[in-house]
Amino acid sequence: MTQYTSVRGLSRGLQVLQALNAMESGRATSQQISELTGLHRTTARRLLETLMEEGFVRRSASDDSFRLTLKVRALSEGFTDDERIATIAPPIMGRLLQRVAWPSDLTTPDGDAMIIRETTHRFSPLSFHRSMVGRRLPILLTAAGRVYFSMCPDGEREDILDLLRSGVGGEEQKAIASNDALVRSLLRRVRADGFGSNHGDWAAQSKIGAVAVAVVAQERVLASLNVVFLSRAVTLAEAKVRYVPELQNAAEQMTAALASESTPINGER
């Protein structure tokens, strides 16, 4: 329940935008919009002209049809890749939880750390934490951070290293980032394996193990997806066999879901 009644005019305006967006040709007359939305033709026309005045719709002088403008696409500019991936992830992560039982986290980069954007900890019977969204995971000490670090563009990787060498991410990460041989070894291992891992490597969480894969869309690494477990209960060899294929499948589902959301607005290709 909301505190205030809905704004009918806004709801109708959104109906018109959705109807225009659904037109195969990318354009429609006010009569067609009326028929598609169920709005009275005069109401549909008034809404279209209002949207035109605001710059979201333009009218063709030749056939009096209306079509969307690029200003509509600008409405989505504030909806970042982080938000997109976090929006499509929950049902996929729910299915992953049913198959592996151990909890998983979806993480995205945030300066010197990976930040948890979505999690199944609160649903997993094997979880040892509950409030996880918003927590920060060290990049060079966790499976999620290591796979992102190894798969991201070279320039971004160097920026991360510069930041960690300054000590922002703590002394453990500073020591690794300052050791070129260790960094090269980490990159080789993760790239050869195709996934990131940690098994008691993070001193603050020494009883925890994890494996993680990168979520890639349009050749960009957007996030990491992990499975977290107790290191005494699952070996890395077991995790590789049991959980990595499941993670890869879930990551592919996320990539496909993101691709299906990326259809251009009709008429503005």
Q: Mean of the per-residue pLDDT values for the chain?
A: 88
Task: Could you please state the CATH topology (level 3) that the domain comprising 8-74 is classified under.
Answer: Arc Repressor Mutant, subunit A (1.10.10)
Return the minimum-mean-pLDDT range out of 35-39, 171-175, 258-262. Answer: 258-262
Angle at 139 between CA 194 and CA 217, to 5 degrees: 50
Residue holding tokens 């001193």? Answer: 203
How far lies 28's CA from each of 11, 14, 81, 200, 257, in Å?
19, 15, 31, 61, 29
Cα–Cα nearest to 224, from 127, 160, 132, 152 = 152
Task: Provide the percentage of residues in the chain whose pLDDT is more than 90.
Answer: 64
Helix or strand or coil: residue 102?
coil
- What confidence score (pLDDT) does residue 268 get? 39
Q: Tell whether the model's pLDDT for residue 47 goes beyond 90.
A: yes
CA distance 239 to 50: 58
CA distance 181 to 175: 11
- What confidence score (pLDDT) does residue 5 get? 73
**pTM summary value:** 0.70
Express each pLDDT in 220-241 by its tens digit. 899 999 999 999 999 999 999 9
Tokens standing for 108?
């995205």
- pLDDT band for 215, please (50, 70, 90 cuts): very high
Domain 81-260 part of CATH 1.10.10.60: no
Name the β-bridge partners of 93: none
Sheet order of strands, 208-217 included? 136-138, 113-119, 105-110, 220-230, 208-217, 196-199
Parse the chain into domains and list their residue ranges. Answer: 8-74, 81-260
Q: Tell whether the model's pLDDT for residue 80 goes beyond 80.
A: no
